[in-house]
Homo-oligomer: A and B are copies of this chain.
Amino acid sequence: MRSGKSMKAEAVEAEALLPAPNAGSGRANSSRIVGTSVHASVANEIGQRIVRGDYPPGAILPNEAKWAETFEVSRSAVREAIKMLMAKSLLSSRPKVGSWVEPRERWNLLDRDVLTWYATSPNRETFLKSVQEFRHIIEPEATALAALRRTDEQMAEISAACREMGAATSLPQRTQADTRFHLAILRASGNELLVPLGTLIESALAHLFVFVTREADDLRHAQGLHEAIEKAIRLHRPEAARNAVRKLLANTDEVIARV
């Protein structure tokens, strides 16, 4: 309706940015998430499609005008969305050629959004495995570092989160405290590169753990493992901390294997 030039008789076939089209025959663009901007929605939609594999690496994407038409937004909005995906190295572009999907290796996999898209894509089981294995590499060492270098303030935060976990009455509440616990440890590790990594891991797991329902018995056991980690850090025992984390991860592996 707003594209002035190519308003031919052909069916427009605009895709909604969200699966909830408005019933009325009114304005077509009102079907996007309220509170999010158009360019963000478009970036989300295109990014998800790329990660999902709709456009394999090397493939040329539809041009900007085409995207504008399919989403019924302006070319400016499309361009801003594409720039966001460029910033994540999901695609590049050149005049006359168009935009193409970059090879997987150049993707910024360690990015919140890309990770989220990945976590909802078909091959999320292998992804979950990668994340969990990644934790085995990172977390024992990070926790050992935390045991060596934590300040008293950082320790207080870790302990508080641990206590909060034990006192949690609902699952989301517990998950939140759990996340806080692990992030506090990474912060205490004193390596600024570990913090963003932890954020990513936690966010990925949050996406993937919604399915896992734990039993009360299981929760009690996990709580004990967490407390062992807290204690090791508190007593400045790096080796004990490392081992405690390994036990916790082994427990998580088991839980995952059961699903």
Contacts and interface: CB of A to CB of B under 8 A. Distances in A.
Residue from A80, A84, A137 with most neighbouring chain B CB atoms (10 Å) = A137
Contact of A196 (B79, B109, B193, B194): B109
A67 B113 CA distance: 27
Contact of A134 (B80, B86, B89, B191): B191
Given A80-B83, A89-B112, A110-B110, A134 B194 contact: yes
A210 to B, nearest CB: 21
* Copies of this chain in the oligomer: 2
A39 B82 CA distance: 12
Interface string A58-82: 0000000000000000001001110
Contacts of A84: 83-84, 86-87
Contact of A131 (B79, B83, B107, B193): B193
A244 interface: no
Contacts of A43: 87
Chain A: number of interface residues, binned into ranges: 35 or more
A181 to B, nearest CB: 16
Interface of A: 39, 43, 76, 79-81, 83-89, 105, 107-113, 127, 130-131, 133-134, 136-138, 141-142, 145, 191-197, 199-200
Across the A-B interface, the 6 shortest Cβ-Cβ residue pairs = A87-B87, A84-B87, A110-B110, A137-B141, A80-B83, A109-B196
A108 B138 contact: no
A89 B114 CA distance: 13
A79 to B, nearest CB: 6
Contact of A133 (B127, B130, B191): B191
Contacts of A105: 195-196, 199
20 contacts: A39-B83, A43-B87, A76-B76, A79-B80, A108-B110, A108-B196, A109-B192, A110-B110, A110-B111, A110-B193, A110-B196, A110-B197, A110-B200, A127-B192, A130-B193, A134-B191, A136-B141, A137-B138, A137-B142, A138-B138
